Amino acid sequence: MREKFRSRYTLLAAASLLFAIGLFSVWYFREIPQEPPRDAEVLMRNVTWNTNLEPFTPYQKQDELEFVYIAESTDGNRAGVDISKLEETIEVTQILVNDEPRPKERLGEIPFDTSLVIKIRGKAKNLELTKEKLLGLIAIRFQKLKDGTVVTAPPKNQNFAIPSAVTVSDSVPAAGSRISAGGISSPTPSSILPPSVPTNTGAETVWVPDRILSSNIDQLVPLTGKNLESVDRVIVGEKSFAGILRDGTWYFTVPKNTFGNGEFFLGLYLKNGQLVPTNAKLAFTFNGNPINVAAITPIDIKNDQDRYVVVQGNGFQKMISIQLSNNLIFKNALFTIINDNVVSIKVPKWLDPWRYYFNIMDTAGIYEAKNLTFTVTP
């Protein structure tokens, strides 16, 4: 009887021990709540324009773009990456995971220890990238190696204010302005203003500048002719300007943003009170873009060595990149910002002889400054 009792006691004790071990195992191997990586951010850069990584970078169609996703975690993880939305925006040409090439087919499960850096490059298919699409372009799900719990890690920069598309002001300084679509001014045909137009004004004959003046900067306008000492003021359009006579030339200043695109008749208000109309015209162009080019000096340079041009305009403090362009050649250029209205740009030696204009990028967009060009000669 005693042995039978002892046997039952032994079985009961063994069963109790197994039950306790089972409870301990359930507790020890219980599901641990998954935490997303503590630091994760999505950045992009425009490789074609050689920009830095930013929360958002403007681009043009066919520009080469790079998107970078960075995640860090203290626990061993694996990640699954879905780039199907990204492929709607770019034609993917390269995928790097922690600087190692990885085919798209192997993005479903990527083991990593503490950090994960995914770089994806490709050419832009369209211009439809928005803040919402940027934040969801690369969908990444993380999974702990230990317990298999899957979570999605939101990008760290989800609250960044991504610059909206460039908005061009509709306010044009003067009636008759012609701002073209996209805010880029169409250059006024040179045929509207023959060089050195002589104008008979009774006792006076004046010559007006033979170039188109930009209304984006202050313009010092010289008048030459006869009997200019009798001139008190100049009338351009419906606006009156005082001036000064020096060494036979009558100068007056037209403040920036006074006129829009167009031609404006010139008249002379004489000191005797007489208003003398003329057939002369001054031609102005106005560019409503936040960044614009109003003057380039010099306009002719040789390509036998590195040379520099000085550009006047507006908004240069916001520049992040610049290209020399002739619609066939796109060449990134080094530049030095003097102030918001002046920038110095390096033109590299051996650049193909041609007429060039500037493509300028800021944090909000890309602007084609086709209204003014400079010429490279051999």
| CATH of the domain spanning 181-285, picked from 3.40.1440.10, 2.60.40.10, 3.20.10.10, 3.20.20.60 | 2.60.40.10
Distance CA 244, CA 294 (A): 24
Closest-CA residue to 358 (of 304, 309, 322, 321): 322
Count CA atoms within 13 Å of residue 207 on its CB side.
11
Helix (H) or strand (E) holding 23: helix 2-28
Please say whether the beta carbons of 126 and 89 come within 8 A: yes
Please say whether the beta carbons of 234 and 252 come within 8 A: yes
Return the CATH class of domain 292-377.
mainly beta
* Residue 13 confidence (pLDDT): 61
| pLDDT per residue as tens, the chain (378 positions) | 555 545 665 656 666 665 555 554 444 434 434 444 334 467 888 888 877 777 788 888 888 999 888 776 655 567 788 888 888 889 999 999 888 899 988 888 888 776 778 889 999 998 888 766 777 777 777 766 544 444 344 444 333 222 222 222 333 344 333 333 233 333 333 333 333 344 444 434 678 788 889 999 989 899 888 888 999 999 998 899 999 888 888 999 999 999 999 999 899 999 998 988 877 889 999 988 889 999 898 899 999 999 999 898 999 998 999 999 988 888 899 998 988 988 989 999 999 999 999 999 988 889 988 888 999 999
Distance CA 151, CA 360 (A): 42
